[in-house]
Amino acid sequence: MALVLHSGSNNKNALKALIAAEYTGVKVELAKNFEMGVSNKTPEFVKMNPIGKVPVLETPDGPVFESNAIARYVTKLKPDNPLFGSSLIEYAQIEQWNDFSATEIDANIGQWLYPRLGYRVFIPPAEEAAVAALKRALGALNIHLASNTYLVGHSITLADIIMACNLSHGFRYIMTKSFTKEFPHVERYFWTVVNQPNFCKILGEVKQAESIPAPPSKKPAPAKEPAKPKAKEEPKKEVKKEEPKFEEEEEAPKPKAKNPLDLLPPSKMILDEWKRLYSNTKTNFREVAIKGFWDMYDPEGYSLWFCDYKYQDENTVSFVTLNKVGGFLQRMDLARKYAFGKMLVIGSEAPYKVKGLWLFRGKEIPKFVMDECYDMELYEWKEVDINDEAQKERVNQMIEDYEPFEGEALLDAKCFK
C-alpha cells in the first residue's frame, strides 16, 4: 500500500510531509478528489482521525495525524536520514526548532491572519498581542540566523522544512516587505530555503504579500449570489478547518487588561511630541532637540535610566554585537508606547562596549518590561540624577550620538522610538 496523504494540495501543513518525502526519496500520494469539509467528514476519515483534522497520512501500519508527526514519520522511513542531523544534540536542536516554529511562529501568524480572513473573531487588542509576540519570535530567530545559514548544522534539516512551511503562510498572506524588513536574516533564510529545488517542486513560486488583509466588516454584505458559487472559497475554508488549535488561544482575555502605566496621572510631557521633535530635527540638534527635551521632561511622570551591558568582554565580533542590540530593541517593542531609548555600540576594535539611555513612563522601570523582556537582566541599570550636571551632559551626548563618546569612537547608534 502506498502512502496516501489526505489533504488539499495547498495546505501548508501537508506540504511539510511532501517536501520531506522529496528529500527522503519516499513516494507520498495526495488522496484523489479530496474536498475539504466533505472528505474529512466521512466515516472512513473520522475513523482515521476522530476530530476530522487534516492532514492525515494513511500507511500500511495505520493512520498518522498531526502534520509534524507525519513529517517525522516520512523522514524516519530512511535510516540515518540527514534531515534528522548527524548527532544526538543536532536531533534535539531540530526538535527544539520544530517546537519553536509551532508555538512561537505558526501560532502567532494564525492569530494575526485568520481573524482578518473572517475565520476567527477579530479583536484588535488580541491582534496587537499576536503581532508583538510574532515580532519577538522573529527577533530571536533573526539573531540565530545572523551567524547560521540553516537552523541546525550546515544543510537542510526537518527543522528548516517545518519552519519554512510555517513562515510561507505568513509571507504569502500577511507578512509584507515593510514588516519583514526588520528581520533581514530571516528574510535571507526564508528565500534561500524556499528556492531549493525540492522546495520549489512542492511549493512552486512563493510571492510575498503586498498588503495586509483588511479586517472583516461588522456589517455583513447582502448576499447577491447563490450559495453554489461560494464553493470557490474552499481554499479559505480549508485553512479554517486545519487550524483549530488557534481557537483555544483566541479566548485569552489578557490583551484587554489596562496597562498600569495608562492609569498614572497625566504628564505634561507628551512622549510622541518628543519623538517627533527628535526625528524632525536635522540641524542645530543641541539648540533645538536637546533643549526641547529638557523643556518637555517631566520628572514626576517619567524617569531616565542608563544601562551598561554586563558582559562587555563577550562582545568580540562586531556584527554579532550589533545583532544583539538589534534583537534587544525588537523585543522592547511591547514598550513602544511608553519608552524612548538610545543604544550605543562603542569602540573601534573588540571588545565592543554596549551602553544605553532609556526614558520610561513612570518613576521606575515598568514591571511588565522587566518581566517580559529577558534582555533587561543582561544590563546594569542606574537611574539618572538630573541634578548632576555631568550625568545630564552624558544624557545629551547619548541622545545626539556625540563622538567620541567617553573618549571612544561610535561603531553604531540605534534609536528606539
Mean pLDDT of 295-306: 96
Indicate whether this model's pTM tops 0.85: no
Specify if 238 maps to a domain.
no
- Do 68 and 165 share a structural domain? no
User: Does 240 have pLDDT greater than 90?
Assistant: no
- Do 70 and 100 share a structural domain? no
Beta bridge partners of 344: 355, 413
pLDDT for 307 equals 97
Q: How far apart are CA 282 and CA 411, in angstroms?
A: 21
pLDDT for 246 equals 37
- Do 74 and 145 share a structural domain? no
Specify if 230 maps to a domain.
no
**Angle, vertex CA 13, rays to CA 73 and CA 178, nearest 5:** 135
Q: How many other β-carbons are positioned within 10 Å of the β-carbon of residue 216? A: 15
Specify if 227 maps to a domain.
no
Q: What is the DSSP letter of 265?
A: P
Residue ending a domain, choose from 50, 81, 112:
81
Q: How far apart are CA 107 and CA 120, in angstroms?
A: 13
- Do 286 and 209 share a structural domain? no
* pLDDT tier, 227 (very low <50, low <70, confident <90, very high otherwise): low
Supply the range of the domain harboring residue 401.
271-416
pLDDT for 216 equals 81
Q: How far apart are CA 404 and CA 291, in angstroms?
A: 21
Q: How far apart are CA 23 and CA 82, in angstroms?
A: 9
- Do 47 and 10 share a structural domain? yes
Mean pLDDT of 232-249: 43
Highest averaged pLDDT of the listed ranges 9-13, 189-193, 314-318:
189-193
Mean pLDDT of 301-321: 93
Question: Cis omega before residue 55 (within 30°)?
Answer: yes
- Do 185 and 304 share a structural domain? no
* pLDDT tier, 235 (very low <50, low <70, confident <90, very high otherwise): low
Which percentage of the chain shows pLDDT scores above 90?
A: 70
Q: What is the pLDDT of residues 58-78, one digit of tens each?
A: 999 999 999 999 999 999 999
Radius of gyration of the chain (CA): 25
pLDDT for 267 equals 94
- Do 306 and 171 share a structural domain? no
Mean pLDDT of 240-260: 47
The set of residues, in sequence order, having a beta carbon less than 8 Å from that of 417 and lying 6+ positions away, is 275, 278, 279, 340, 341
Residue ending a domain, choose from 66, 81, 96:
81
Q: Structural domain tally of the chain?
A: 3
- Do 108 and 35 share a structural domain? no
- Do 34 and 113 share a structural domain? no
More confident residue, 256 or 34: 34
User: Does 256 have pLDDT greater than 50?
Assistant: no
pLDDT for 228 equals 52
Q: What is the pLDDT of residues 338-357, one digit of tens each?
A: 999 999 999 999 999 999 99
* pLDDT tier, 215 (very low <50, low <70, confident <90, very high otherwise): confident
Specify if 226 maps to a domain.
no
- Do 408 and 304 share a structural domain? yes
Residue ending a domain, choose from 215, 246, 261:
215
Q: How many other β-carbons are positioned within 10 Å of the β-carbon of residue 323? A: 20
65-74, 209-218, 279-288, 300-309: least confidently modelled range: 209-218
More confident residue, 282 or 161: 161
16-30, 125-139, 256-270: least confidently modelled range: 256-270
Mean pLDDT of 113-124: 89
Q: What is the pLDDT of residues 25-57, one digit of tens each?
A: 999 999 988 888 888 889 889 889 888 888 999
User: Does 138 have pLDDT greater than 70?
Assistant: yes
Return the CATH number at 27.
3.40.30.10
